[in-house]
């Protein structure tokens, strides 16, 4: 089976021009088929401040009202996505930008209102890989922003980590899929204050013990749940760490396998 690398980057790369440029050099040089997923970084908040848009939070979680969705669509699908695509093109990587609405690639459902109405936030229901598969075969590189749609005309703000894992799962029967979460730390740490305490290997078996022993910090849990879910759905491996892990096998990072 051919390898497909699905790589997610977050604010620590997107918000820093030099870090982004250096990451895109690395990404463009990857020879196997690949897909990039990017979050939004601080740009959306900056623009919201410029426009005097109020950031609405309930229980510490951001609410996506209509104005915020419009803003996110402009920043994620517009400015960030198109600039990444143009920069990859200059590196001879034939990138093509996507939201989940494009080609109906990711269909989600507006999160049901229980105690909190999160607004225009979508939980992924279905990934359609057919057209992406055709593009990959033609050596194109899809670049996804963190927006999906409900197939009824509504765009929805969707967690970029989840988009990455759902895409990896969607391709798991056609490719040996490898999922990479690039973030600001060296990996999953056993001591959150010690960058050198990277847990190099996690399996579905050892994962439960790490949770039972309270070794994994709260902030890592949603990310790791995404990873374990992907592994259980036949994604070949998930790696978490700094983007150096993409080219330096000796780098410190966490690998999750079955």
159 in Cβ contact with 108 (< 8 Å): no
- 74 sits near its own copies (criterion: CB under 8 A): yes
Task: Please give the structure tokens belonging to residue 180.
Answer: 């990479």
User: Does the annotation list 234 as a binding residue?
Assistant: no
- 48 sits near its own copies (criterion: CB under 8 A): no
Cα-based distances in Å from 16 to 11, 181, 183: 8, 17, 13
252 in Cβ contact with 239 (< 8 Å): no
Closer CB to its own copies, 77 or 256, in the complex: 77
Closer CB to its own copies, 99 or 255, in the complex: 99
DSSP code, position 133 = H
Candidates 7, 37, 135, 238: give the one binding its own copies (CB under 8 A). 135
Rounded CA gap, 178 and 160, in Å? Answer: 16
- Return the ∠ at Cα 164 (arms to 107 and 229), rounded to 5°: 95
The phi, psi pair for 13, rounded to 5°, reads -95, -45
Candidates 30, 140, 211, 251: give the one binding its own copies (CB under 8 A). 140
- 30 sits near its own copies (criterion: CB under 8 A): no
Candidates 58, 67, 134, 217: give the one binding its own copies (CB under 8 A). 134
Query: Which residue ranges are tagged as binding site for substrate?
Result: 40-41, 62, 157
Query: Which residue ranges are tagged as binding site?
Result: 40-41, 62, 157
Contacts with its own copies by CB under 8 A lie at 50-51, 70, 73-79, 81-83, 85-87, 89-90, 94-97, 99, 101-104, 130-131, 134-135, 138, 140, 147, 149, 151-155
């Amino acid at each position: 089976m051919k390898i497909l690398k699905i790589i997610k980057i977050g604010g620590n790369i997107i918000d820093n021009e030099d870090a982004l440029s250096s990451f895109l050099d690395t990404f463009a040089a990857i020879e196997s088929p690949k897909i990039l997923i990017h979050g939004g970084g601080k740009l959306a908040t900056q623009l919201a401040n410029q426009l005097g848009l109020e950031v609405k939070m309930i229980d510490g979680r951001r609410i996506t009202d209509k104005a915020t969705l419009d803003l996110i669509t402009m920043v994620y699908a517009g400015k960030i996505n198109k600039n990444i695509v143009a920069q990859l093109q200059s590196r001879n990587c034939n990138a093509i930008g996507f939201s989940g609405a494009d080609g109906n690639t990711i269909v989600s459902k507006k999160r049901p209102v229980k105690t909190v109405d999160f607004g225009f936030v979508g939980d992924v229901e279905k990934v359609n890989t057919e057209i992406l598969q055709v593009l990959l075969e033609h050596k194109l590189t899809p670049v996804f922003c963190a927006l999906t749609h409900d197939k009824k005309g509504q765009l929805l703000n969707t967690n970029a980590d989840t988009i990455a894992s759902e895409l990896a799962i969607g391709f798991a029967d056609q490719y040996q899929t490898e999922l990479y979460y690039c973030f600001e730390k060296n990996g999953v740490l056993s001591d959150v204050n010690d960058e050198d305490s990277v847990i190099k290997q996690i399996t579905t078996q050892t994962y439960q013990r790490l949770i039972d022993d309270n070794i994994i910090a709260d902030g890592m849990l949603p990310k790791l749940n995404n990873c374990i879910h992907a592994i259980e759905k036949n994604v070949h491996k998930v790696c978490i760490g700094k983007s150096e892990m993409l080219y330096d096998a000796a780098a410190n990072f966490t690998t999750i396998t079955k």
